[in-house]
Amino acid sequence: MGAVVEKGKESSVLVSTQHVVQQALRKLGYKEEMYELLKEPVRMLTVRIPVRMDNGDIKVFTGYRAQHNDAVGPTKGGIRFHPEVTEDEVKALSMWMTLKCGIVNVPYGGGKGGIVCDPRQMSFPELERLSRGYVRAISQLVGPTKDIPAPDVFTNSQIMAWMMDEYSRIREFDSPGFITGKPLVLGGSHGREMATAMGVTICIEEAAKKKQMGLAGANVIIQGFGNAGGYLAKILKERGANIIGISDAYAALFDENGLDIDYLLEKRDSFGTVTNLFKQTITNKELLQRPCDILVPAAIANQITRENAHDIQAKIIVEAANGPTTMEATKILSERGVLIVPDVLASSGGVTVSYFEWVQNNLGYYWSEEEVAEKLRNKVVHAFNNVIQTAESHKIDTRLAAYMVGVRKTAEASRFRGWI
Ligand code: GLU
């Protein structure tokens, strides 16, 4: 489950995503009509989900499912449970999924779902009823060859299991390929749970090589201590990095001599909260401005903005969260020579291993952990080099380059299908 840090200004996320997609399509030589097609999801479903709460009352929740574009193949992307989910955010996130799938070259278009709810305030049985209710509400639109959900912020393998079970009951046959991020015993893949963090790690290694820096001994700050941030801290520490800062939704911990990551992982709750156990904390804002070699925003959107971009001291920023750096901040940082590995590249490990999970479900044949890890590495290293080369050859920032690489396949597929 992901940690959520401070409330983001989500309304601007869709607009800024559209802007970069438009720039990318122009650079690729497409006419405005291609942008008209790709600026919004082709399908957007809003559902109301009545759920019997433990006290006997009925509460009605709002849910969304966006399918950005299905020219390449079925749509794919996670479902988030969060009180601040909005229609615009889900739309933008579905566009990001199209970009991620294009960047790592997996045969999907982007999709995304969300339910406006606070899982931290709900019991297990309430969460189960909500998860099953959501699947019943969207069942006509989704499926293993149509749209394949997965975990996202505050959803996990248990929720995927309930959803898979509900879908299989509706269809009256076992449908493991309906959803990814399942527990291993229900057709999940080795390496899926750590996949986002592994993808980020591979990007960090490649970015460090590019800056002629070693990972061993590098000072790293990670904002967020949920699924991505927590696993990432563990993996990086094992590889010799010095984790000097972490944070959760409420505060941050910083120690220039390095934090005891094993202890913090043991103490955090399932939402990634741990700072409440400490007296000496700093704010998330302060954490971002502390000196370090590598900064990994792994929480929520709009954390690095034009207000604080000048104060960031990292040499490399690897975006494990979706949309942590605004366009203005990207410009400021790129001009200062900071290497930004953009979200749509850095966080593509999750959907990559989800693709492997789906392939294994379709085959009914399962791969070893080593096989999954090697296949993931190949895809992410290739994607990283592709984005960096595009940035260098077009003399553009890495975000625009990633969007160019990411949108190309969907645009081409839409053209070949005769849509545009
Ligand atoms: N929610 C994850 C993401 O945003 C994973 C999506 C998936 O595995 O389909 O990339």
Among 321, 346, 371, the domain-final residue is 346
Given this model, what pLDDT does residue 270 score? 82
**Relative to the CA of 149, which ligand 1 atom is closest?**
9
Task: Give CA–CA dist 352/383, Å, rounded.
Answer: 11
Q: Are residues 164 and 278 in the same domain?
A: no
Sheet with strand 109-116: strands edge to edge: 43-52, 58-67, 109-116, 75-82, 147-151
* Strand 43-52 with 58-67, pairing: antiparallel
First-residue to last-residue Cα distance in the chain? 39
* 319, 354, 357: residue to mutate for ligand 1 pocket, most atoms within 8 A of CB: 354
Task: Give CA–CA dist 77/142, Å, rounded.
Answer: 11
**Relative to the CA of 80, which ligand 1 atom is closest?**
1
CA 230 to ligand 1 centroid distance, Å: 17
Among 175, 205, 228, the domain-final residue is 175
Asked if residues 93 and 322 have their Cβ atoms less than 8 Å apart, the reply is: yes
The answer to whether residue 68 is domain-embedded is yes
Given this model, what pLDDT does residue 372 score? 98
The answer to whether residue 250 is domain-embedded is yes
- Whose alpha carbon is nearest atom 8 of ligand 1? 351
CA 349 to ligand 1 centroid distance, Å: 8
* 351, 352, 360, 361: residue to mutate for ligand 1 pocket, most atoms within 8 A of CB: 351
List, by residue number, the catalytic residues: 112
Written as six digits, the tokens of 183 are 């527990």
**Relative to the CA of 153, which ligand 1 atom is closest?**
1
Reported as a single tens digit per residue, the pLDDT across 59-115 is: 999 999 999 999 999 999 999 999 999 999 999 999 999 999 999 999 999 999 999
Reported as a single tens digit per residue, the pLDDT across 177-234 is: 999 999 999 999 999 999 999 999 999 999 999 999 999 999 999 999 988 899 999 9
Q: What is the CATH number of the domain that holds 66?
A: 3.40.50.10860
How many CB atoms sit inside 10 A of residue 219's CB? 18
Q: What is the CATH number of the domain that holds 219?
A: 3.40.50.720
Which residues make beta-bridge pairs with 76?
A: 110, 148
Q: Are residues 145 and 207 in the same domain?
A: no
The total number of structural domains that make up the chain: 2
CA 188 to ligand 1 centroid distance, Å: 14
Task: Give CA–CA dist 89/94, Å, rounded.
Answer: 9
Q: Which residues line ligand 1 (CB under 6 A)?
A: 76-78, 100, 150-152, 180, 347, 350-351, 354
The answer to whether residue 361 is domain-embedded is no
Alpha helices in 153-194 (DSSP H): 157-171
Task: Give CA–CA dist 81/93, Å, rounded.
Answer: 14
- Whose alpha carbon is nearest atom 7 of ligand 1? 351
The answer to whether residue 321 is domain-embedded is yes
The answer to whether residue 337 is domain-embedded is yes
Task: Give CA–CA dist 68/133, Å, rounded.
Answer: 23
**Relative to the CA of 152, which ligand 1 atom is closest?**
1
CA 213 to ligand 1 centroid distance, Å: 30
Computed over every residue of the chain, the mean pLDDT equals: 95
Q: Are residues 204 and 169 in the same domain?
A: no
Task: Give CA–CA dist 399/323, Å, rounded.
Answer: 11
Asked if residues 357 and 188 have their Cβ atoms less than 8 Å apart, the reply is: yes
Given this model, what pLDDT does residue 5 score? 38
Task: Give CA–CA dist 68/76, Å, rounded.
Answer: 9
pTM over 0.85: yes
Task: Tell me which residue range forms the domain holding 200.
Answer: 195-346
CA 150 to ligand 1 centroid distance, Å: 6
Q: Which residues of the chain are under the pLDDT cut of 50?
A: 1-11
